[in-house]
Amino acid sequence: MKSVDVLLDGQSLVTPRSIAAEILSIKSNPVNERDKLAAESELAIILNLAGQQIEKQMEPDQIHGMLGAGLHALRAKSSPAIWQHLIALAQSHPIASYFLQDPFTRWSFVKPRGYSGDAQLIDFIYGHPSLNDEIAKSTPTGLALYEVNRNSSASRAVRERRDLLTQHIDEIAGSRGGDAEILTIAAGHLREANNSVALHQQRIKRWVALDQDPMSIGSIRRDFADTCIEAVDGSVRSLLTNAHDLGTFDFVYAAGLYDYLNDKVSIKLTRKCLQMLKPNGVFMFANFSEDIIADGYMETFMNWALLLRTEEDMWRIMRASTDDGVFDCFVRFGENRNIVYGFMRKIG
C-alpha cells in the first residue's frame, strides 16, 4: 500500500485531529480524573477480552461484534475529551494488529491519500473490482474481518446512499426533459453515476463532478470520458471564494462531505449551494447520524473520525442558511438510520 501526496487546501482538510479539535471546541468540559480512570479500566477490559478471544481463535465476526458493541457503549457514556484519550490507548494496544489485517480497516488507518474518507476507502464498502488485488493480499482472518466491516450497518447505509443518489438523479433528469444540470460536490469516484439510467440514455445535459483529490478527478475523467460528466478540480474553499463559474443546476448534492465540516463551514457551503440552484432546483446533503453503532470501532482501529449529526442538527444548518418561505425543506433518515439527509427545494 503506497502513500501518495495530495495537496489539500486547508479549508477542506479532513483528519482525525481536525475532527477531534472541532468536537472538543463544541463540548469541552474539564476532565474528571475519576471518570478518566474508570473509562481507562473499562477500555482495558474490553480490549483484553478481545485479546483472549483472539488467542482462543474465535470466529472474527464474533470477536469484532463484541468489541464493536463494547466500544460503542463506552464512547456513548464518555465525555469527548476522555474518549479522545481512549482512542489513543486503543490504537496502541497489541490487538490493533489483528484488526489491521482487514484491508478496509488498514486503508482507513494508514490513509494512503493523506485524509479520511477518500474515494478508495468508500470503494471498499462498495466492493468495487478495482480493489480486488489489494483485497487478495489479505490473510484469511483479514478477509473475514473485511466481510464483517463491509456488511456493517454503516456500510449498508453508504451503499444505500449511493443508490438513493442514483434514484434522485434519474428522477430529476426525467422531470427536466433532457435539460437537467447536476453538480456533485466532493464527488470521489462518482460511483452513483455507474447505474444512472438517465446518464446511459444521454438524458442529462450537464453533470459537474467537483473534487479536490487529483486522483479522484483522474478516475472520473477516465471512467466517464464519453459522457456529459465534467470533472472539476475544486474544494470547499474554492467554492466559497467563488473560484469557479459553474452556473446553475437542477440538483446539487454533497453526500460524503458534511461529516467533516463544522456548522460554520456547513452553513456557508449550504448558502453557496442554494445560490447555484435553478427555480425548483434541489440541494441535498447527507451526514452520518448519531444512531450509528460502528462509531467506536471506526474512531479507534480505523482512525476514521466523523462529525455525527442529529435530525435537529440538520434542521439547524438549513434554518441558518436561508430565509423562511424561499425553500421547501425536509429531513429524512436512511432505512437503518445510520445516515440522515437534508433536502432543500427552491420554491418558484
- Structurally, how many domains does the chain consist of? 2
Among candidate residues 103, 128, 151, the one where a domain is terminated: 151
Asked whether residue 62 falls in the same domain as residue 162, the answer is: no
State residue 124's pLDDT score.
98
**Alpha-carbon distances of 114 from 97, 118, 124, 187, 287, rounded to whole Å:** 21, 9, 17, 17, 21
Among candidate residues 116, 151, 186, the one where a domain is terminated: 151
- Structural domain of 174: 155-292+306-346
Asked whether residue 90 falls in the same domain as residue 201, the answer is: no
**Cα 288–Cα 290–Cα 295 angle in degrees, nearest 5:** 75
Asked whether residue 114 falls in the same domain as residue 163, the answer is: no
DSSP-derived letter for residue 289 is: B
Asked whether residue 117 falls in the same domain as residue 255, the answer is: no
Is 299 a member of any domain?
no
3-state secondary structure at position 280: strand
- 254 pLDDT exceeds 70? yes
Taking a C-beta distance cutoff of 8 angstroms, is the pair 164, 255 a contact? no
Asked whether residue 225 falls in the same domain as residue 89, the answer is: no
Is 223 a member of any domain?
yes
Among candidate residues 151, 174, 206, the one where a domain is terminated: 151
| CATH code for position 210 | 3.40.50.150
- 44 pLDDT exceeds 80? yes
State residue 348's pLDDT score.
78
E strand segments, 186-313 = 204-211, 229-233, 249-254, 277-288
Is 119 a member of any domain?
yes
Asked whether residue 206 falls in the same domain as residue 59, the answer is: no
- 11 pLDDT exceeds 50? no
Q: Which residue has the cell 446553475?
A: 248
Asked whether residue 144 falls in the same domain as residue 249, the answer is: no
- Strand 229-233 and strand 339-346: the pairing is unpaired
Is 135 a member of any domain?
yes
Per-residue pLDDT reduced to its tens digit, 64-111 = 999 999 999 999 999 999 999 999 999 999 999 999 999 999 999 999
Asked whether residue 119 falls in the same domain as residue 170, the answer is: no
Taking a C-beta distance cutoff of 8 angstroms, is the pair 68, 297 a contact? yes
- 324 pLDDT exceeds 90? no
Residue 178 is which amino acid?
Answer: G
Asked whether residue 162 falls in the same domain as residue 177, the answer is: yes
- 244 pLDDT exceeds 80? yes
- Strand 339-346 and strand 327-333: the pairing is antiparallel
Asked whether residue 24 falls in the same domain as residue 144, the answer is: yes
Per-residue pLDDT reduced to its tens digit, 183-226 = 999 999 999 999 999 999 999 999 999 999 999 999 999 999 99
Is 107 a member of any domain?
yes
Asked whether residue 161 falls in the same domain as residue 64, the answer is: no
Is 8 a member of any domain?
no
Confidence of residue 37 (pLDDT cuts 50, 70, 90): very high
Asked whether residue 88 falls in the same domain as residue 231, the answer is: no
Per-residue pLDDT reduced to its tens digit, 298-308 = 999 999 999 99
